[in-house]
Each structure stands twice: as C-alpha cells, then as structure tokens.
C-alpha cells in the first residue's frame, strides 16, 4: 500500500484528467441532442408536431427554450469539469460540484440506456458511436466522483497524521 | 553533464589520480569529445559512422522512429550518456514492452559502470576518457533513459527546485531558444509530445539542461515513478562522480586492485573538498572557468580550450593502415568497443531495444 501522499497525488492527477474529459465530452452531449432531433426529423418539424399551427411566438419561445437547455448542459459540464480541475490542482477545496456531477451521471446513464433501447431508431454506426461516447463519459464522471471522495479522505488522513 | 565537468573536472580528476598533464589532456579531451563525435563529424573526417557517440539535434530531427531507427538512437544514447543501471530490474504489473524501457533507466553504480571501467583498463587513454564520460553521466542523468519514451522520461508541472535554505520554487519550463536564466529560475525543456517514441522524450529532454547543472537540487515526479517523488541532489552526486572518477582512474593505472561499486576515492578529493564544493554549488550555467582554474592549480600547467579541430588533420593525413594509431583512431576504437559492450549486454538480457549486437573485441567492426 503506497503512502497517503503518493496516493493523493495519483487521485489529484486523475481528477484533473477526468475534469478535462468532462469538459471535452460535453461537446458530444450538445451534438447528440441536436443530432437526435435532426435524425428523426428537422427540429422545426418536430416542434410543429406539438405546437399549434402559425403560433410563431410559441415556436420562437420553444426554440429559445431549447437553446437555454443546451446552454445549461454546456454550463453544467463546464462547471463540474472546471471545479474538478481546480481541486486536482489544489486551487480549490470545496467539492460542491459533486451533486451536479451525480446529476450528469444519471443523465448520461439514461442516455446510455435509451441508446440501447432505441438502437434501431438511428443508423447503426451512429448508435454504436453514441454508446461508446456515452460509456466514456460515464467512466470520466465515475472516475471524477471516486477521485473527489478519495482526495477528501486522504487529505483528512494526512491532516490527522500531521496533527498526531 | 557539460564541458565544465567532462573536460576540466575530468582533467583535474586525472591529475589527482596520478596521470601526467599530457595524459590527463588526452583523457579529458576524449571525455568531452564523446559529446561531439556525431555522424556529421565522422562524415567530414571519413571516419567509421558506427563510432558516433552522440547525435546533433538536427540529426535527431531527421532520425526515424520506427523500430530500427529507435534501436539506432538507443544504441548511441544508452552506451555513452544514459548507461542503464540494472538490465534485470523488476517491476510488477507492467507489460514486457514497458519493462524493456524501464530496464534502460540510467543510474550510478550499476554493473555496466564496472564493465565500462574494466573495458578501458589496459587500452588507450582515449578509452579511459570515454569511460570517464560515461561514468560521470550516470550521476547527472540518473532516473532518465537513453531511449525515446514518454512513459519513462516524461515530467510534469510537479517539478521544484530546492534551494540550500530548504525553500522550494516550482519550475515552469518554457519552450524557447532563450538561454536558461538561473537568477530568475527560468529553464527550457522540450515540448510535450504525446507520441511515446517522439525524440522530445529522449533522455532528460523533458527537464531540459537542468539535470546537467551541478548546483541543482530538485524534486519531481518521473513518469516511471508511480507518483512517488524523486529528490536529486546534484552537488552531492557531482562530488561523488568526481571522487569515483579518481578511484576509477587509479584502478585503471593499477594503483587499486579492483574497481568496486559504491566506492569513492577518500583522500585526493577530500584534500580539495571545500574548493570543489564551492565550484559545484555555485549557481552558474557554465563552471568551465572555475574548473579550469582548479585543474591548472593542481598541475601547474595551462589547460588549452577545447577544440574539435585539434586532431582532425592528424587523422586525415594518416595512411589508411595508420589511422587507428592516431588520436581520433584510438578514440573511434574505444567508442566502438564501448558501444558494442553495452549493446551486447542489453541484447543478452533479452532486450532488443538496442538491436542486435556482436562482441566488437572478438569480431571487429563489420
């Protein structure tokens, strides 16, 4: 068993790598949501199934709301990734990004499961690519969570050892 | 290490080991020449290309990094600048491919150092100089390997210079052509390259010239270290290197019965310890002037500045069957022997990173 300081370095490096992974893969999430709508139909046709005809104001609001959602997805990933990187570099100690990371895990898991369930609704290569990327994102997020908790534990252990 | 240690400090060590001024000059010239004997130089003097003991940056830029190219690079750098410490080192839970590279990590007091010194005994002063270069570099270049490898030679932002008062400063290497500034703690290193076999990952390139500075004390995370910090104390190591060179040359001259590892000359160097440590610990990129003054004070003779041109004409003017008797000819012979011995040892250990090899002493150049 390696000494705590060595393990702490390892998990901090892991956290920085996972943080960057989450930020980079959020681009995939954006692409996935947009492509889902465009593969099934054009987004505007999709909206027209649910919105009253000729209600341009509602249509515009729906488009705006969609953009807000995409922006929120981007923000959540960037927030989690950036906080994780800062914790890994020792520039931040609060891990209040954990609840957001858990939400992202659940969202990605849902997407992964739906990807399997609806594997035939998209071209096969796109479905497989989507599953691979979702699973990679899950790995990054899981590693991020585990590393965050390990860092907390090890820092406390080192603090106690230092105090003793 | 640099010219200050390979040329001037080696001269001083040779004088302390009992060599005359003229003999010490041949030894120290050869020691420094190991850093300059490139294929480009050998082409110019029409010497044997296999005797190359180093490669220019331009040669490295042009070098292929397929398996044959990598073997060629490794043969040179592992034989003369990054002598492997333990060709049979073990590490758990790694692939064979990784283990081959791990076993090329350089370090002092390995069996190959003893083989290198023994190889030089009873041969020419040029071979002694080559051996001293190799021996000295095992101290400065410890923890790096003479093969391009990201997973062995990479460093990262966790790189701190440790000052004599115990304080530390993080080194953020830059990637410019500007010279290192020791006052401001600005140092240059090679660019990060994610390719495992990139030339940028050869030797201590990822730490720049920093490991070659005698004053440097630093701690960092080597890529092979499993996140364990390595502390390198160059002042202490360089002093040991100096003492070990004296001991090795005493053995080569016949004053010592054998060359033992982890054993250092205890008298000759210690008489001048304060002066030597003063040179070693002084924060300067180039300690040539100080070492030169020290060497001249020991012998009472002037040490001429190093020049690659010194022995070229002798070699060029010699007849074909007389070339091996010239200064450069003897150097080339020594270099071929050293290269053959090291690559043979690497090959015999089951490691083909330096390619196939023959025993040069038995079979000659082919």
Pairing of strands B230-233, B168-170: unpaired
Angle at B114 between CA B113 and CA B119, to 5 degrees: 100
State how far the Cα of B262 lies from the Cα of B192, in Å rounded to an integer: 35
Q: What is the distance between the terminal CA atoms of chain A, rounded to a whole angstrom? A: 21
Q: Flag whether residue A82 sits within 8 Å of chain B, measured between CB atoms.
A: no
* Nearest CA among B25, B59, B30 for reference residue B43: B59
A-B C-beta contacts closer than 8 Å? 14
Q: A13 touching B, CB under 8 A?
A: yes
The predicted pLDDT at position A28 comes to: 77
Q: What pairing do the DSSP bridges indicate for beta strands B217-220 and B168-170? A: unpaired
Residue A133 has pLDDT above 70, yes or no: yes
Intra-chain end-to-end CA distance of chain B, in Å: 31
Testing the interface with B: which of A1, A9, A14, A17 to mutate, by most B Cβ within 10 A?
Answer: A9
- Interface touch A6/B226, C-beta < 8 Å: yes
Which is more confident, A23 or A122?
A23
Nearest to B173 by CA among B149, B209, B147: B209
Contacts of B227 in chain A (CB under 8 A): 2, 6-7, 9-10, 13
**Over the Cα atoms of chain B, what is R_g?**
20
Calculate the average pLDDT of chain B.
Answer: 93
- What secondary structure, in 3-state letters, does B292-315 show? HHHHHHHHCCCCCCCCCCCCHHHH
Query: B230: distance to nearest CA of chain A, Å?
Result: 11
B349 by Cβ neighbours in 10 Å (0-12 / 13-18 / 19+) ranks as middle
pLDDT computed for residue A18 by the predictor: 94
Q: Which residue has the higher pLDDT, A126 or A150?
A: A150
Give the Cα separation of B88 and B225 in Å (integer): 17
In this predicted structure, which of B54-68, B84-98, B140-154 has the lowest mean pLDDT?
A: B54-68
Q: Is it the case that residue B186 has pLDDT exceeding 90?
A: no
Lowest mean pLDDT among A123-127, B82-86, B362-366: B362-366
pLDDT in the model for residue B365: 52
Q: Is B352 exposed, middle or buried (0-12, 13-18, 19+ CB in 10 A)?
A: middle
- Range B240-247 average pLDDT: 97
Higher pLDDT, B97 or A66: B97
Output the pLDDT for position B212.
95
Q: What is the pLDDT of residue B362?
A: 63
**Nearest to B87, CA basis, from B350, B356, B365:** B350
For residue B232, pLDDT beyond 90 = yes
- Shortest Cα–Cα distance, A50 to chain B (Å): 49
How far apart are the CA of A157 and the nearest CA of chain B, in angstroms? Answer: 18
Would an 8 Å CB–CB cutoff place A93 in contact with chain B? no
Give all strands of the β-sheet with B230-233 in edge-to-edge order: B168-170, B159-162, B217-220, B230-233
CB contact under 8 A, B226 and A13: no
Long-range contact list for B314-323, CB < 8 A, 24+ apart? Answer: B315/B45, B315/B47, B316/B45, B316/B46
Residue B366 has pLDDT above 70, yes or no: no
d(CA B143, CA B332): 28
User: In this predicted structure, which of B45-54, B179-188, B286-295, B341-350 has the lowest mean pLDDT?
Assistant: B179-188
Binning pLDDT at 50, 70 and 90, where does residue B183 land? Answer: confident
**Which pLDDT band, with edges at 50, 70 and 90, does A161 fall under?**
confident
| A45 vs B19: which has the higher pLDDT | B19
Q: Which residue has the higher pLDDT, B324 or A61?
A: B324
Q: What angle do CA A141, A143, A144 make, to 5 degrees?
A: 60
Share of residues in chain B with pLDDT > 70 (%): 98
Of A93, A106, A114, nearest to A142 by C-alpha is A106
* Interval B206-217 mean pLDDT: 94
Q: Do A9 and B226 touch (CB under 8 A)?
A: no
Name the band, by pLDDT with cuts 50, 70 and 90, for residue A150.
Answer: very high
pLDDT > 70: percent of chain A: 86
Q: Quickly state the pLDDT bin for A93 (edges 50, 70, 90).
A: confident
Residue of A nearest to B157 (CA): A89
The mean per-residue pLDDT over the stretch A72-96 comes to 90
Which residues between 212 and 231 in chain B have a beta carbon less than 8 angstroms from any beta carbon of chain A? 221, 226-229
Chain A residue closest in CA terms to B156: A13
> SS3 for B56?
coil
- Residues in A touching B229 (Cβ below 8 Å): 6
Instruction: Please report the pLDDT score of residue A64 as a whole number.
Output: 82
Q: What whole-number percentage of chain B has pLDDT above 90?
A: 85
Query: Minimal Cα–Cα distance from B229 to chain A, Å?
Result: 8
A150 lies within 8 A of chain B by CB: no
| A103: number of Cβ within 10 Å | 12
- For A20-75, the pLDDT digits (tens) are 999 988 877 777 777 766 655 555 666 666 666 667 777 778 778 888 888 888 88
Mean pLDDT for chain A overall: 84
């Amino acid at each position: 068993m390696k000494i705590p300081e060595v393990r702490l370095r390892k998990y901090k490096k892991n956290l920085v790598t996972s943080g960057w992974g989450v930020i980079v893969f959020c681009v995939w999430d954006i692409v996935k949501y947009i492509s889902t709508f465009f593969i099934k139909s054009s987004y505007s046709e999709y909206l027209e199934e649910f919105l009253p005809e000729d209600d341009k104001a509602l249509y515009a609001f729906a488009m705006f709301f969609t953009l807000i959602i995409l922006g929120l997805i981007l923000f959540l990933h960037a927030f989690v990734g950036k906080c994780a990187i800062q914790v890994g570099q020792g520039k931040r100690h609060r891990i209040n990004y954990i609840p957001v990371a858990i939400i992202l895990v659940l969202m990605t898991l849902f997407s992964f499961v739906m990807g399997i369930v609806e594997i035939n609704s998209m071209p096969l290569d796109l479905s497989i690519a989507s599953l691979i990327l979702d699973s990679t994102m899950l790995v990054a997020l899981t590693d991020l969570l585990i590393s965050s908790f390990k860092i907390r534990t090890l820092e406390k252990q080192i603090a106690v050892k230092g105090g003793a | 290490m640099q010219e200050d240690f390979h040329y001037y400090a080696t001269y001083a060590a040779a004088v302390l080991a009992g060599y005359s001024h003229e003999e010490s000059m041949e030894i120290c010239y050869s020691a420094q020449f190991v850093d300059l004997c490139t294929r480009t130089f050998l082409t110019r003097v029409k010497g044997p290309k296999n005797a190359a003991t180093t490669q220019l940056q331009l040669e490295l830029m042009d070098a292929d990094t397929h398996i044959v190219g990598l073997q060629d690079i490794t043969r040179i750098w592992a034989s003369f600048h990054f002598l492997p410490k333990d060709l049979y080192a073990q590490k758990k839970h790694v692939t064979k491919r990784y283990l081959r590279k791990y076993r090329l990590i350089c370090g002092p007091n390995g069996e190959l150092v003893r083989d290198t010194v023994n190889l030089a005994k009873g041969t020419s002063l040029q071979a002694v100089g080559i051996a001293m270069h190799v021996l000295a570099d095992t101290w400065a270049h410890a923890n790096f390997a003479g093969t391009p490898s990201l997973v062995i030679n990479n460093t990262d932002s966790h790189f701190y210079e440790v000052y004599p008062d115990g304080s530390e400063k993080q080194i953020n290497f830059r990637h410019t052509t500007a010279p290192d500034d020791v006052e401001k703690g600005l140092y240059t290193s090679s660019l990060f390259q994610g390719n495992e076999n990139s030339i940028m990952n050869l030797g201590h390139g990822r730490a720049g010239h920093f490991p070659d500075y005698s004053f440097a004390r630093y701690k960092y995370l080597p890529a092979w270290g499993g996140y364990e910090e390595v502390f390198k104390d160059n002042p202490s190591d360089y002093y040991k290197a100096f003492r070990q060179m004296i001991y090795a040359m005493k053995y080569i001259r016949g004053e010592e019965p054998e060359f033992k590892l982890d054993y250092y000359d205890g008298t000759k160097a210690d008489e001048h310890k304060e002066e030597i440590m003063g040179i070693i610990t002084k924060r300067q990129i180039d300690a040539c002037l100080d070492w030169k003054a020290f060497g001249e004070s020991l012998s009472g003779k002037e040490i001429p500045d190093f020049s690659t041109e010194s022995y070229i004409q002798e070699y060029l003017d010699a007849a074909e069957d007389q070339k091996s008797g010239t200064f450069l000819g003897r150097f080339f012979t020594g270099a071929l022997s050293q290269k053959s011995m090291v690559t043979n040892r690497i090959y015999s250990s089951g490691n083909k990173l330096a390619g196939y090899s023959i025993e040069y002493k038995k079979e000659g150049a082919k």
